[in-house]
Amino acid sequence: MTSREYLSYYSLAKPPFGKEIPTAELLNLPPVERNLAAARLLVETRGIGVITGKAGTGKSCLLRMLADSLPPGLYKPLYLCHSSVGLVEFYTHLVALFGLEPCYRRAAMFRELKDHVLSMNSSSHVHPVLLVDEAHLLNNQILAEMRLLTNFHIDSLNALTVLLCGDETLTRKFGLSMLEALANSVTITIGVDALAKEETFTYIETRLAACGVKNPLFTKNALELIHQAAGGILRTVGTIANSALIKAYLSKSQQVEAEHVHSVIGR
């Protein structure tokens, strides 16, 4: 079996449940719209924000949507996911992200980075937005540095917006005394929840429609079972739906039935 064969069988123009979904086609349900509006508000007010949620709920998708929605002449989104590193290595990744040359001395990189951020704001009139994914893996020393990186002109200028994205353990770290300054500086916290049942149905049907399917491809019982098995976790919903679709193709079924979902989740 080739992917082209099963896509053709169901009149799919492309795989419906993969990573390579264009940003314009990402799910835009009311909870997503609210979270995106909150993220945009953080950028407009220029502060420190936090996105939390279980793995696979769509946090990184939210970062993509935010980055793509920012006017390029006014903002420069910078995405960083090198989180399981030490402090100096973190700075080398960070300065490289800003287009600077790492020098492997934390103090020098700190100064160079701060000067560059100020120059971006004053000379280029572009506000940098640092998006840190998997931030729950950052050690406490690096998290404490995040507060220092946003301190400009004796803490009287918001020259850098930082959005930390991670699982629920991230906010629990803020109770530590060494992270008190960071916790007190967080202006917006966004919680990304699992999908409700109807939202799961909408997600699957929307993805299929975006790939060319005009008639219902998953039975209601199959959709119910996918939601129940995935717990509304977006990534898991897509994984189960994709595997069930292949199972249905192998059995030459015109629709994805509950039995196909059962065969996937029962492995």
Q: What is the CATH number of the domain that holds 232?
A: 1.10.8.60
Q: Which helix (H) or strand (E) holds 56?
A: none
8 and 125 belong to one structural domain: no
Q: What is the pLDDT of residue 1?
A: 62
**Closest C-alpha among 193, 148, 190 to residue 171:** 190
Contact between 166 and 136 (Cβ < 8 Å)? yes
169 and 144 belong to one structural domain: yes
State the helix-helix crossing angle for 140-149 and 87-97, rounded to 10 degrees.
40
Q: What is the pLDDT of residue 152?
A: 92
Structure tokens at 123: 């000379």
DSSP state of 179: G
For 111, residues 6+ apart whose C-beta sits below 8 A from its C-beta are none
158 and 200 belong to one structural domain: no
Structure tokens at 76: 């420069």
Please name every residue paired with 192 in a beta bridge, in sequence order, or none if there are none: 53
The residue among 192, 218, 250 that closes a domain is 192
51 and 94 belong to one structural domain: yes
pLDDT tens for residues 16-74? 998 788 888 887 788 999 999 999 999 999 999 999 999 999 999 999 999 999 999 99
CATH number of the structural domain spanning residue 118: 3.40.50.300
Range of the domain at 165: 30-192
The chain-wide mean pLDDT, for the chain, equals 93
Residue linked to tokens 């989104």: 77
Contact between 193 and 31 (Cβ < 8 Å)? yes
Residue linked to tokens 């287009």: 99
Contact between 209 and 227 (Cβ < 8 Å)? no
83 and 173 belong to one structural domain: yes
7 and 104 belong to one structural domain: no
145 and 210 belong to one structural domain: no
Beta strands in the chain (DSSP E): 48-53, 75-80, 127-132, 161-166, 186-192
80 and 211 belong to one structural domain: no
87 and 200 belong to one structural domain: no
143 and 219 belong to one structural domain: no
Q: What is the pTM of this model?
A: 0.91
The residue among 170, 192, 214 that closes a domain is 192
How many C-beta atoms lie closer than 10 Å to residue 60's C-beta?
A: 19
Structure tokens at 233: 């976790």
Q: How many domains does the chain have?
A: 2
The residue among 192, 210, 243 that closes a domain is 192
113 and 179 belong to one structural domain: yes
Q: What is the pLDDT of residue 82?
A: 78
Q: How far apart are CA 160 and CA 47, in angstroms?
A: 7
**What residues in the chain have per-residue pLDDT under 70?**
1, 267
118 and 238 belong to one structural domain: no
